[in-house]
């Protein structure tokens, strides 16, 4: 029996992850789910954000279904002891170098976007974000120099790190519309100059994919001007973090935003970590108000990329699309009659079960 590690984490993480487990179990029966602590929950129970037993359970599993980590009360801790260190640690430990973040406007959701509905109708793009290099993983120092506090965050990229995520992005673009936009800051940063040079070299192995280069500030503007002009976007760690959140909000709510962190090609059925990007949302945690769709769509990605179950992934995505169009919807999408987290999950499971029957 295939094992899936379930790391609910903090805030709304346990609620949305439980919903995702139910939906994945309906679409792909026969899985076993093993839960383990992570983040602030793990700090409270075992004293550290990423316990060794949790890492072991993940190592024994085909994939990780992740909730969220973070919350108040840990700012006094050093960075490597805070809840957020757990997700960075898992990415590094399992070499999860490619972060796939779709940004899609589902039918009926066009008016939820902060942009005019005609600008987002049919929007369906994917970010491929390099996930284990760059500023987030470079050396960090805070010292006194000449009487002034001086901070350094070191941005490090190695050629192979850029090459492998570029190859991943080209392969994914080949599976979609064969269009790839590489985002960098080539006019200022030496790291971006290396990035662009390597992407151009990799492009020679994918002559059927049309490659475009775009500076990150221009990319931020073009996403607002015409998000439908993009299909697959590949970029470095921090740029991808920021731009993918921008794209998620363009769709109308971050509550439907899913992600996968993978350590192999998109068609390799490899190991991955799957999580919604909505965060812990402590203000609504435990109230049954959280939108579970980001977690549920992450489970669909798990079915596709780690289980090789395209039919199961498609069934989840179809059930989500129908539920968004017909209801019920959570409060972030329907302020007047928002349904509970469990009610939305029930509706999606029912639609999957109906098709299966």
Weakly modelled stretches of the chain, pLDDT under 50: none
- Dig out the tokens for 98 from the structure: 């490619």
Q: What is the torsion angle, in degrees rounded to the nearest 10, for the CA atoms of residue 259, residue 264, residue 268 and residue 273?
A: -30
Q: Sign of the C-alpha dihedral, residues 330, 343, 306, 231?
A: negative
Q: What is the C-alpha radius of gyration for the chain, rounded to an integer number of angstroms?
A: 20
Full-model pTM: 0.93
- Asked about 146 being catalytic, the answer comes back as no
Are the beta carbons of 136 and 155 closer than 8 angstroms?
Answer: no
- Dig out the tokens for 263 from the structure: 């350590």
Catalytic hit among 25, 92, 124, 136:
136
- Asked about 97 being catalytic, the answer comes back as no
pLDDT, tens digit (0-9, with 9 covering 90-100), for 237-249 = 999 999 999 999 9
pLDDT at 153: 95
- Dig out the tokens for 283 from the structure: 């203000």
Helix residue spans in 133-207 (DSSP H): 159-175, 190-203
Length of the chain: 357
In Å, what is the CA distance from 236 to each residue of 48, 125, 182, 321? 29, 17, 9, 30
pLDDT at 296: 98
- Asked about 305 being catalytic, the answer comes back as no
Q: Class of the 1-96+268-357 domain?
A: alpha beta
In Å, what is the CA distance from 287 to each residue of 14, 70, 172, 177? 12, 18, 38, 41
- Dig out the tokens for 357 from the structure: 């029957």
| Helix, strand or coil, per DSSP, at residue 355 | helix
- Asked about 334 being catalytic, the answer comes back as no
Question: Which residues, in sequence order, are CB contacts of 39 under 8 Å at separation 6+?
Answer: 9, 10, 13, 49, 68, 69, 70, 71, 83, 84, 86, 87
Domain spanning 124-250, CATH architecture: 3-Layer(aba) Sandwich (3.40)
pLDDT at 357: 59
Catalytic hit among 10, 97, 157, 185:
185
CA-CA distance, 257 to 278, in Å (whole number)? 7
CA-CA distance, 203 to 207, in Å (whole number)? 6
pLDDT at 170: 98
Indicate if 124-250 has the same CATH topology as 1-96+268-357.
Answer: yes
Q: 13: part of which helix (H) or strand (E)? A: helix 13-27
Residue 339 per-residue DSSP state: B
In Å, what is the CA distance from 60 to each residue of 34, 36, 173, 263? 10, 12, 31, 16
Catalytic hit among 97, 157, 184, 241:
241
Question: Which residues, in sequence order, are CB contacts of 155 under 8 Å at separation 6+?
Answer: 134, 135, 138, 189, 191
pLDDT at 73: 77
CA-CA distance, 15 to 190, in Å (whole number)? 43
Catalytic hit among 25, 124, 231, 245:
245
- 3-state DSSP of 198-262: HHHHHHCCCCCCEEEEEEHHHHHHHHHHCHHHCCEEEECHHHHHHHHHHHHHHCCCHHHCEEEEE
| Helix, strand or coil, per DSSP, at residue 178 | coil
Are the beta carbons of 312 and 30 closer than 8 angstroms?
Answer: no
| Helix, strand or coil, per DSSP, at residue 311 | helix
Please state the domain extents for the chain: 1-96+268-357, 124-250
């Amino acid at each position: 029996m295939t094992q899936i590690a379930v790391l609910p984490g903090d805030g709304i993480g346990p609620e949305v992850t439980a919903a995702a487990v139910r939906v994945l179990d309906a679409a792909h029966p026969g899985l076993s789910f093993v839960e383990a602590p992570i983040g602030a929950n793990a700090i409270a129970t075992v004293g550290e954000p990423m316990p060794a037993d949790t890492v072991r359970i993940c190592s024994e599993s085909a994939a990780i279904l992740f909730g969220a980590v973070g919350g108040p009360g840990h700012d006094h801790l050093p960075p490597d002891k805070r809840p957020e260190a757990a997700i960075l640690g898992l990415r590094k430990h399992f070499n999860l170098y490619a972060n796939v973040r779709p940004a899609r406007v589902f039918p009926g959701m066009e008016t939820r976007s902060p942009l005019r509905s005609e600008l987002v109708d049919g929007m369906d793009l994917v970010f491929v974000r390099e996930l284990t290099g760059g500023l987030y993983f470079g050396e960090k120092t805070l010292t006194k120099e000449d009487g002034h506090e001086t901070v350094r965050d070191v941005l490090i990229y190695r050629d192979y790190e850029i090459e492998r995520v570029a190859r991943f992005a080209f392969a994914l673009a080949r599976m979609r519309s064969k269009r790839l936009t590489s985002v960098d800051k080539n006019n200022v940063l030496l790291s971006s100059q290396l990035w662009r040079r390597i992407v151009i070299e990799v492009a020679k192995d994918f002559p059927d994919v049309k490659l475009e280069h775009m500076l990150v500030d221009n990319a931020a503007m073009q996403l607002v001007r015409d998000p439908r002009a993009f299909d697959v976007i590949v970029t470095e760690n921090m740029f991808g973090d920021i731009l993918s959140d921008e794209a998620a909000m363009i769709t109308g709510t971050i509550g439907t935003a899913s992600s996968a962190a993978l350590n192999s090609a998109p068609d390799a059925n490899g190991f991955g970590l799957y999580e919604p990007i909505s965060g812990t949302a402590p203000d609504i945690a435990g109230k049954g108000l959280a939108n579970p769709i980001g977690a549920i769509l992450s489970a669909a990605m798990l079915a596709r990329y780690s289980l090789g179950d395209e039919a199961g992934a498609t069934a989840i995505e179809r059930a989500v699309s129908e539920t968004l169009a017909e209801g019920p919807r959570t409060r972030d999408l329907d302020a007047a009659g928002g349904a509970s987290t469990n009610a939305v999950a029930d509706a999606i499971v029912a639609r999957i079960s109906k098709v299966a029957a």
